[in-house]
Amino acid sequence: MPPLQRWVCVAPMMDWTDRHCRYFLRLISRHALLYTEMLTTAAVLRGDRQRLLEFHPAERPLAIQLGGSEPADLARCAEIAEAWGYDEVNLNVGCPSERVQDGRFGACLMAEPELVADCVRAMVEAVSIPVTVKTRIGIDQRDSYEDLVRFVATVAEAGCKVWIIHARKAWLRGLSPRENRTIPPLRYEMVRRLKEDFPGLEVILNGGIATLGEAEEHLVWCDGVMIGRAVYHNPYLLAEVDRLFYGDTAAVPTRTQIVERFIPYVREELRKGTHLHAMTRHVLGLFHGVPGGRNWRRRLSEGATRLGATADLLREAAECGGLGPASFQ
């Protein structure tokens, strides 16, 4: 497989970027790099791997994000991920939740650069796919540029050449994960300076990017951007990504075409026993900002949990909102 092109990535988001969400997003963009939710090493090593790791081949290119701090466990999980067909292994060094901290992974690892380096080294030695790190610009009082440089330099020496950096610090106590996504100020200038000082590293900017126009502005100096909640709440934001950033001249799918293409997947998953709501909850934002979008969301939300609901609900919801043709192919 050719080297991954990370010009636009969709962030790993707990409870959101599951396999149904990723399949749906892939119908909108063929090239954006998608990430799984964070999976802990304990879950991968001792849990139901089929349920945790299964993905549709159409989701690729696809990266798996791991949470952990034991080098041997991470190395084994990386091997499993590579064998499963993932294209990248990403280590979470950015999540500030107390539950994650209690497991000694996530953002708290920024205080232990040598341990993170050991983890990265073990994974790099175990697999041939890229091993990357997603981190913050700092934690608590360790938030100076010099602190960030020491962390990055130490871990880069162990073999991490690709960095996804959320341009906010994280407070490990006193702020919830939600508050940590908005209250600490964005400091893009720190990430830009890091790219200037480490030109050999691939730096992907994360945090606060809400439009493709903003993405274009950042891509003047960084190697890629990662967008999270803006894409989840308005997935059609991805519709122009392939043309703008990847040079793909294929026709941009309409929203109703995306609904049509999603229906066969939903039917197949229903046959396997997947609940309809598990899939439709990810498409509520497809008609964001479009007249009739509210009716689309309401019809899906109300109908997906009803006994006997089928994939045809997607067609009905679009027609109810006046969003699609009277009949779908």
Question: Of 77, 95, 108, 222, which residue is the catalytic one?
Answer: 95
Alpha carbons 314 and 308: distance in angstroms, whole number: 14
CA distance 79 to 65: 13
Q: Where are the beta strands (DSSP E) in the chain?
A: 8-10, 33-40, 62-67, 88-93, 131-136, 162-166, 202-206, 224-227
Report the pLDDT value the prediction gives residue 104, as an integer from 0 to 100. 79
Give pLDDT tens digits for 99-128: 777 777 899 999 999 999 999 999 999 999
Give tens-digit pLDDT for 32-85.
999 999 999 999 999 999 999 999 999 999 999 999 999 999 999 999 999 999
Task: State yes or no: is 222 an active-site residue.
Answer: no
Determine what percent of the chain is predicted with pLDDT higher than 90: 89
Output the pLDDT for position 324.
61
Distance CA(17)–CA(19), nearest Å, equals: 7
pLDDT value of residue 327: 38
With beta carbons less than 8 A apart as the criterion, state whether 150 and 139 touch.
no
Q: Is 72 helix (H, G, I), strand (E, B) or coil?
A: helix
- In angstroms, rounded to a whole number, what is the distance separating the alpha carbons of residues 206 and 224? 9
The two tokens of residue 232 are 């989840």
**What is the number of helices (H) and of strands (E) in the chain?**
16, 8
